[in-house]
Amino acid sequence: MLLEVQDLNVYYGAIHALQGISFSINQGEIVTLIGANGAGKSTTLNTISGILRPRSGKVIFKDRDITLTPAEEIVRLGICQSPEGRKIFATLTVMENLEMGAFTQTDKNEINRSLERVFRSFPRLKERQNQLGGTLSGGEQQMLAIGRALMSHPQLLLLDEPSMGLSPILVEEIFNIIQEINAQGTSILLVEQNAQMALSVAHRGYVLETGRIVLSGDSTDLMNNPQVAKAYLGAH
Amino acid sequence: MENERLTFIDRMIKGKWIGKLLLTVIVLFAVWGVGNKAIHNPQLFIQQIINGLQLGFVYALIALGYTMVYGIVRLINFAHGDVFMVGAMVSYFAVGSFHLHQWPAAAFPGLPNFISLLIGTISVILLSMAICAILAVTIERIAYKPLRNAPRISALITAIGVSFFLEYFGALPFVFTPNFITYKRPYEIVTWYIKDGIHRLEAGKAPPQGGILFSNNLIIIILVTVLLLLSLTYIVQKTKIGKAMRASAYDKPTSRLMGINVDGIISITFALGAALAGAAGVLYATAYPQVFFWMGIIPGLKAFIAAVLGGIGSIPGAFVGALIMGQAEVLAAGYISTPMRDAIAFSILILVLLVRPTGIYGEPEREKA
Ligand SMILES: Nc1ncnc2c1ncn2[C@@H]1O[C@H](COP(=O)(O)OP(=O)(O)OP(=O)(O)O)[C@@H](O)[C@H]1O
Ligand SMILES: [Mg+2]
């Protein structure tokens, strides 16, 4: 098992945002976490990334307890996040944004290989490498956010709503690339509100509702589950 | 009626009319006054510009620390001027008590005098920079870091407290003493005058009428400042640490998600700013050779105004603002009266806040996520 989350409880002050959630990701999988607004998806990712601390519960990555590991160390261990809303460094160029993604990397050749890989996945970024991040279109910013996370050469990539605000064609493109990245050996935890898309690329999925996991299973099973269909796939 | 008047005044303030009107009047008045005098006595005018340049370059070094620290932690570090004072003091003791500037002459007696003094002076500046950097990082760790998530006003008040601490700790008899101390430069001042070519001014002689004076000190100040500015620009623009500084200034949580050690980057920012202030302290003391525990307050405030004028958070802004401040002050002192220099400096602050609070290079405050 690559990542295991055990009985995680996270609070924002008095708000009990994650109420004892447990799930796991195997090596090579795409696992999706779907749920409505405020279900606790971003909270889950930020706890794994180490910028939120749980009140109880554990995060285990490659048999190592990383619950209290500092965020920068977690990146070094092989988990990187592309956050919700992209969070591009607007005042840095595209290239500099990518370099920041590689902040924990010290091997120049390794960094260059990652850069080539990102440019192969997102040729648009190569064309715009000297442009300021803030001047990119929404779709390009999403590509940059994913590319930036890939620059740390992660074993586990956390993606928070990569489809947000993108046109259907672009969503299709981004999800194809997500599958490609996975095919090259990176495991992915994909957070989405677009359950249809997410389940179509993921191997397994978990459904999060107000801080609790209410359903889990193979993507195909979840897609055929009437409850999921009703709540998340827009069926009536 | 009363109400209407209020809204009218309100609108005037909102539209910043008063400020803009005042600014226009003052600028016109200043241009007319200075221009008039410049035509009548161009030598004096050029002399003032040179003096203003010297002051402006020192302010620039201090202003950079304010602006860099503000850029990354949104804190006006009021203790920065006192770090500048410590820089001057360190060089005073290094030269006066330890003769640090003479080490190359002692270690390599064969070296030409000029070279060994140059290396010695550079060593003094580097020592001041290093000690100021260590001091600032210590202050940051002890006083500011615990308040990182507190309301901004808490950190601001703490900065004022740290400033007082440094001043009055410095005033203790076994530290810097509460006295004015005559500063001993690592090198002798050499002055030249320009009048039908460049001539060296003999020591003890009065300069000739209508000559423009400049000294080796001016050259040293400009060279050191330009060198430090170029290095800083290189660090901020080209190095990984510099890029991480800019990323952290923009968005700290996301920087942490990228594996950037934001606390470490903040410390480095404090260290860089303080090192520049340390160098400024040495240069200022060589130009105005008297050191005392309060000497950081006024230059610190002026440099702060320079940073605000340029647009706090902007590095080129700090430089441009400082050059303008240097000129404004020297011209005011030369053409109006000496006490006007401080009045002008603070008037500039008020005007900037009225007309364009974001300064020359500043952008409107971005909402932080
Ligand atoms: N900084 C915060 N302070 C207080 N409450 C918060 C904070 N961030 C999130 N919450 C609350 O925690 C709960 C979970 O939020 P979270 O952002 O994890 O939801 P989400 O599933 O990512 O939603 P969305 O799909 O809208 O992004 C919500 O009720 C939210 O209001
Ligand atoms: Mg979210």
Rounded to two decimals, the pTM is 0.91
Residue type for position B276: L
The verdict on residue B42 lying in a domain is no
Residue B366 has pLDDT above 60, yes or no: no
Q: Within 13 Å, how many C-alpha atoms sit on residue B333's CB side?
A: 17
Asked if B167 and B179 sit in the same domain, the reply is yes
Cβ–Cβ contact B268 with A under 8 A: no
Q: Which of B295, B312, B339 is the last residue of a domain?
A: B295
Q: How far apart are CA B132 and CA B277, in angstroms?
A: 8
- Of ligand 1's listed atoms, the one at least distance from the Cα of A43 is 18
Work out the minimum CA distance from B244 to partner chain A, whole angstroms: 7
Do both B310 and B261 map to the same domain? Answer: no
Helix (H), strand (E) at residue B199: strand B198-200
Cβ–Cβ gap A99/B259 under 8 Å: no
Q: What is the predicted pLDDT for the residue at A115?
A: 95
Q: How far is C-alpha A80 from the geometric centre of its chain's CA atoms?
A: 8
Q: Identify which of B250, B256, B257 has the shortest CB distance to residue A91.
A: B250
d(CA A190, CA A33): 6
Question: How far apart, in whole angstroms, are the C-alpha atoms of residue A132 and residue A88?
Answer: 10
Structural domain contains residue B2: no
Q: Is B278 among the domain residues?
A: yes
Residue type, A148: R
ipTM topping 0.90: yes
A158: closest chain B residue by CA: B257
3-state secondary structure labels for all residues of A142-210: HHHHHHHHHCCCCCEEEEECCCCCCCHHHHHHHHHHHHHHHHCCCEEEEEECCHHHHHHHCCEEEEEEC
- Do B168 and B250 lie in a common domain? yes
- The candidate with the shortest Cα–Cα distance to B362, out of B302, B314, B330, B305, is B314
Flag whether pLDDT at B8 surpasses 70: no
**DSSP per-residue string spanning B211-267:** PEEEEHHHHHHHHHHHHHHHHHHHHHHHSHHHHHHHHHHH-HHHHHHTT--HHHHHH
Query: Would you say residue B196 lies in a domain?
Result: no
Ligand 1 atom having least distance to the Cα of A208? 21
Of B243, B251, B259, the CB nearest to A72: B259
Residue B97 belongs to a domain: yes
Whether residues B317 and B221 share a domain: the answer is no
Assign B3 a pLDDT band (cuts: 50, 70, 90): low
| Residues comprising chain A, all counted | 236
Residues B159, B102 within the same domain = yes
Question: Is the Cβ–Cβ distance between B263 and B44 less than 8 Å?
Answer: no
Judge if B111 and B241 occupy the same domain. Answer: yes
* DSSP code for B364: P
What is the bridge-based pairing of β-strands A187-192 and A56-61? unpaired
Low-confidence residues of chain A: pLDDT under 50: none
* Whether pLDDT at B211 is above 90: no
Name the closest-CA residue to atom 1, ligand 1.
A12
Ligand 1 atom at minimal distance to the Cα of residue A41: 21
For the cut 70, the answer to whether the pLDDT of residue B138 exceeds it is yes
Q: B179 and B308 in one domain?
A: no
Here the contacts of B340-345 (C-beta below 8 Å, separation 24 or greater) are B342/B298, B345/B301, B345/B302, B345/B305
CA pseudo-torsion sign B69, B70, B73, B79: positive
Looking at the complex, report in whole angstroms how far the Cα of residue A173 sits from the nearest Cα belonging to chain B: 24
Task: Show the tokens assigned to B59.
Answer: 């302010």
Whether B243 and A99 lie within 8 Å, measured CB to CB: yes
Co-location of B233 and B330 in the same domain: no
**From CA B60, how far away is CA B224, in angstroms rounded?**
12
B181-209 pLDDT, tens digit each:
999 999 888 888 888 888 888 877 888 88
* pLDDT score at B202: 83
Least confident of B55-64, B126-135, B170-179, B195-204: B195-204
Three-class HEC string of A64-111: EECCCCCHHHHHHHCEEEECCCCCCCCCCEHHHHHHHHCCCCCCHHHH
B259 CB near a chain A CB, below 8 Å?
A: yes
- Of ligand 1's atoms, which has the minimum distance to the CA of residue A36? 25
My answer on whether B145 and B243 are in the same domain is: yes
Q: Give residue B330's domain range.
A: 296-359
Residues counted in chain B: 369
Contact B318, B90 (CB under 8 A): no
Nearest CA to ligand 1 atom 5: A12
Tokens of B88: 């001057």
Is residue B303 one of the residues assigned to a domain? yes
* Number of domains comprising chain B: 2
Confidence of residue B263 (pLDDT cuts 50, 70, 90): very high
Residues B333, B225 share a domain: no
Q: Is the pLDDT of residue B350 over 80?
A: yes
Angstrom distance (rounded) from CA A228 to CA B350: 61
Q: Does residue B28 lie within any of the structural domains? A: no
- The answer to whether position B325 is within a domain reads yes
Domain boundary among B250, B277, B295: B295
Q: Which amino acid is at B339?
A: P
| Residues B286 and B303 grouped into a single domain | no
- Which residues form the pocket of ligand 1, taking CB atoms under 6 Å from any ligand atom? A 12, 15, 17, 35, 37-43, 84, 193
Closest among B277, B313, B307 to B295, alpha carbons compared: B277
Provide the pLDDT confidence category of residue B369 given band limits of 50, 70 and 90: very low
pLDDT value of position B367: 43
Helix (H, G, I), strand (E, B) or coil at A212: strand
Residue A30 and residue A225 in contact, taking contact as beta carbons nearer than 8 Å: no
Q: Are residues B142 and B254 in the same domain?
A: yes
Cα–Cα distance for residue pair B113/A133, rounded to 1 Å: 52
Chain B residues with CB-CB distance to A85 below 8 A: 369
Between the CA of A67 and the centroid of ligand 1 the distance, in Å, is: 20
Q: Report A:20-49 residues touching B (Cβ under 8 A).
A: 49
Task: Tell me what pLDDT residue B86 has.
Answer: 97
Task: Give the residue from B268, B295, B322 where a domain finishes.
Answer: B295
State how far the Cα of A15 lies from the Cα of A6, in Å rounded to an integer: 20
Task: Please give the mean pLDDT across all residues of chain B.
Answer: 89
> Ligand 1 center to residue B369 CA distance, Å?
13
